[in-house]
Structure formats: structure tokens, C-alpha cells
Amino acid sequence: MRRLLVLILALLPFAGQAGSSVGQLYKTGGTIDISRAGRTVMADTGSPIEVGDTLEVGLGEAAALRMADDEVVSLGASTRFQLLSYQFNPRDRSGNHARYRLDSGTARLISGLIAQQQPGAVVLESDYGMVSTLGTDYSASVCGAGCATPGIFVSVNSGKVTVSTPAGSQTASAGQIVFVAAVGGAPVLVASLPAGLIPAPDPTPLLLTAGILGSTLRIEFTASVCDEAASPTQPECTASR
């Protein structure tokens, strides 16, 4: 007798846009401040994200954003991240886009539908240059005054990105790292990240925890039972749940 066990974990889907909300926040137990329209909002897991928001992630904390198109953005400790503009209409792709800004710290962007359907429509800005997403998973780290050579490092986990500055552009694919050493400098490929520079965290634990705590958890077991004794070459199988 052979048995096949399948475990399916269904997390809560994004609820859609409510007013000006374009995403949701998931965070660790610390404080995440959102600057919105001249005031500070104390955010918690499940808090809506709006265009124009600036997120401040504290020391030792982490956060993740799940956008309306299912793009995921994770933010590391001591990060300042802005949502400059965002539009997603699943029925009309023509105007879909996302534009973010990383002022300090680290961010990891895992493409959703916008970048998958329209390469280049998702952009991450910084003082050092602009990163265009070509349907990918990548991390961007701003290395500040503590670095021997301050700048931004963009490391690609999968897919491709193009890093652009007034001095030129550089496209990188999985396993490659682009570095821009100065404002207006040319992007170049480098072999590794500097010692001590920690990329943005994997967002999976944050999203998984939030999904289990904040939604109905469905665990489905499917067993396929085959009676080999009836026919060794073509056993009769039945499925049950």
C-alpha cells in the first residue's frame, strides 16, 4: 500500500483596495512608524499602506509589505522606505506601476503581477540611482557612513534588474551584485557584499505568521490508497480527504 500525503496551507488573500489602501503591513513585535499626510501613524500587522506613506523601521526590527498585486517588500532594521506612487488595475494593465524610494537600510522586492506583466514598471529609487525590476527577487542595501565606500548594493536572487544613474546603467541577473559608489556614479558589478552588510530579511516567516494568526487556516490532507494486491501492474487507487 502506498500513501501520498499533500499538505496545503492557505493564507489570507489580499482583501483588495479599500479607499486609498494599496497594501498591508506585516511586522515583528516592535514599533513601525508611518508618516502619512504630516502625521505619524502607529502601525500594526494588518495596517493598510497608502500612497505617500514613509515607513520607519526601528533598530532590531523588520517588516514586510504585501501589495495589491501580490508584490512583497521586506524591510530590514533601521530602514526608511517611501511609497511614492502605485497603481494596479487587474482588468487594465496600461497604467499599472509602482515607484518606491529607499533612503536608508535594506529592502527586498519580490515581484508581483505588475513587474511580471510589465517589466520595468516597478522602480526603486535611492540617492545613488534607480533600480528597474524586470520580474525578479532582489535586495537593495544602502551602505552609509560606516562603509569604507558608501553607496548602494543591489543583489539579485532571481530574474533581472537594471540599475541606472546619470553615468550609465548595468543589468544584472541571478547571483550578480551591482554597486553604485557615489551619487551620480556609474553602476558596476562586484563580487560580493561588504563584510557586515546584512541584506533585507526573508519575508516568508512574517507573512506565514500573520496568515496563521489573522485568517482561517486550511490544512488539507489527501490520501491516495492503492490496492496492489488486486493488480500489481495497475493497482486500483481511490482518493479521500
- Return the bridge partners of 8, or none: 220
Mean pLDDT of the chain: 81
Task: State mean pLDDT over 60-86.
Answer: 94
* Residue 72 pLDDT: 95
Task: State mean pLDDT over 192-206.
Answer: 86
Do β-strands 21-27 and 48-50 pair in parallel, antiparallel, or remain unpaired? Answer: antiparallel
Burial level of 241, CB count in 10 A (0-12/13-18/19+)? exposed
* DSSP designation for 201: P
Residue bearing the bigger pLDDT, 72 or 235: 72
In this prediction, what percent of the chain has a pLDDT beyond 90? 56
The model's pLDDT over 104-147, given as tens digits with 9 standing for 90+, comes to 999 999 999 999 999 999 999 999 999 999 889 999 999 987 78
* Residue 15 pLDDT: 36
Task: State mean pLDDT over 45-62.
Answer: 91
* Residue 16 pLDDT: 37
Residue 23 clears pLDDT 90, i.e. is over it = yes
* Residue 84 pLDDT: 97
Task: State mean pLDDT over 70-83.
Answer: 95
- Return the bridge partners of 26, or none: 64
Do β-strands 122-125 and 97-110 pair in parallel, antiparallel, or remain unpaired? Answer: parallel
Q: Comparing 50-54, 175-179, 183-187, which segment has the lowest mean pLDDT?
A: 183-187
Report CA 191 to chain centroid distance, whole Å: 24
Using an 8 Å Cβ cutoff, are 220 and 6 in contact? yes
Residue bearing the bigger pLDDT, 12 or 101: 101
Which CATH number applies to 10-218: 3.40.50.1240, 2.60.120.1440, 2.40.50.100, 2.40.160.100? 2.60.120.1440
